[in-house]
């Protein structure tokens, strides 16, 4: 049985993009780590940034194994990539589920927010560096605020919250439409989306692995 070249190169393309995403995550996380400089938001997110660095390294290693396994049709590398992808898939599901449950708890019992997070509000009282970072994040992620939404800024909501994408959930504030989703929530749907993509990656990997195994069995 011959190996399906279309599946082989589709898998290689998927793994290459997977590896590139690991490089981006690692580079972005290292940049955040070395440029905190008094940024309270980044100080609070310190453990999360460390986790991102670890994830970036793991993705890069797995991506290398997967690319080599797909091109060289190496079963050992492919199965190692599959196992690694499966572990990341499970972790992403856990993060997504816990994040969704945690978000509901925060909205149901807002008074139970930790004192450390409360000190960040209102965001308009943070220094210029923090506000600049948050406003850039809000434009890119199409969100507003960190915990509750636009109200996190206090009586003045910045223009970076303006709802320019009407496909997003928006609300009225300061006489204009602004994004209503807090930026801390944006990573949770992303976790589920990444998990779905990894399902396809695992399916392609196992399909190619089985084809290589059958081919090798027929040639021996």
Answer yes or no: is pLDDT of 216 > 90.
Answer: no
Q: What is the mean pLDDT of residues 197-214?
A: 86
Q: What are the tens digits of pLDDT across the range 49-91?
A: 666 777 778 888 888 888 888 888 888 998 999 998 888 888 7
Mean pLDDT of the chain: 77
Q: What is the mean pLDDT of residues 126-130?
A: 79
- Helix H, strand E, coil C: the string for 49-102 is HHHHHHHHHHHHHHHHHHHHHHHHCCHHHHHHHHHHHHHHHHHHHHHHHHHHHH
Answer yes or no: is pLDDT of 163 > 50.
Answer: yes
Answer yes or no: is pLDDT of 195 > 80.
Answer: no
What are the backbone dihedrals phi and psi of residue 4, each rounded to the nearest 5 degrees, phi first? -70, 110
Contacts of 5 (CB under 8 A, 6+ apart): none
68 versus 42: which is more confidently predicted? Answer: 68
- What pLDDT shows up at residue 44? 52
59 versus 192: which is more confidently predicted? Answer: 59
- What pLDDT shows up at residue 88? 82
Q: Which of 93-107, 127-141, 200-214 has the lowest mean pLDDT?
A: 93-107
The alpha carbon of 28 is separated from its chain's Cα centroid by a whole number of angstroms, namely: 12
Q: What is the Cα–Cα distance from 107 to 105, expressed in whole angstroms?
A: 5
How does residue 38 score in pLDDT terms, banded at 50, 70 and 90? very low
Q: What is the mean pLDDT of residues 150-167?
A: 89
- What pLDDT shows up at residue 42? 53
- What pLDDT shows up at residue 158? 92
Half-sphere exposure of 51 (CA within 13 A, CB side): 8
117 versus 178: which is more confidently predicted? Answer: 178
- What pLDDT shows up at residue 9? 85
How does residue 160 score in pLDDT terms, banded at 50, 70 and 90? very high
Q: Which of 104-113, 121-130, 206-215 has the lowest mean pLDDT?
A: 104-113
Sign of dihedral through CA atoms 56, 59, 64, 65? Answer: positive
CB 140 within 8 A of CB 116: no
**42 prior amide bond cis, ω within 30:** no
How does residue 161 score in pLDDT terms, banded at 50, 70 and 90? very high
Q: What is the mean pLDDT of residues 36-60?
A: 64
Sign of dihedral through CA atoms 119, 123, 125, 127? Answer: positive
């Amino acid at each position: 049985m011959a190996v399906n070249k279309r599946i082989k190169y589709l898998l290689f393309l998927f793994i290459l993009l997977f590896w590139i995403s690991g490089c981006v995550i690692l580079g972005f996380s290292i940049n955040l780590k070395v440029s905190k400089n008094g940024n309270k938001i980044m100080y609070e997110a310190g453990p999360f940034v460390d986790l991102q660095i670890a994830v970036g390294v793991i993705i890069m290693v797995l991506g290398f194994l997967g690319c080599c396994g797909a091109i060289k049709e190496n079963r050992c590398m492919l199965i190692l990539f599959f196992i690694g992808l499966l572990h990341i898939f499970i972790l992403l599901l856990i993060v997504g589920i816990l994040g969704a449950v945690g978000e509901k708890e925060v909205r149901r019992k807002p008074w139970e927010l930790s004192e450390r997070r409360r000190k960040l509000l209102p965001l308009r009282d943070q220094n210029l560096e923090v506000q600049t970072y948050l406003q850039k994040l809000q434009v890119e992620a199409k969100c507003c605020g960190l915990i509750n939404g636009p109200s996190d800024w206090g009586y003045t909501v910045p223009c970076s919250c303006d709802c320019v994408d009407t496909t997003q959930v928006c609300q009225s504030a300061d006489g204009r439409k602004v994004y209503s989703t807090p930026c801390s929530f944006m990573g949770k749907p992303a976790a589920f989306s990444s998990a779905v993509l990894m399902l396809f990656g695992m399916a392609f990997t196992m399909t190619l692995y089985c084809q290589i195994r059958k081919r090798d069995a027929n040639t021996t």
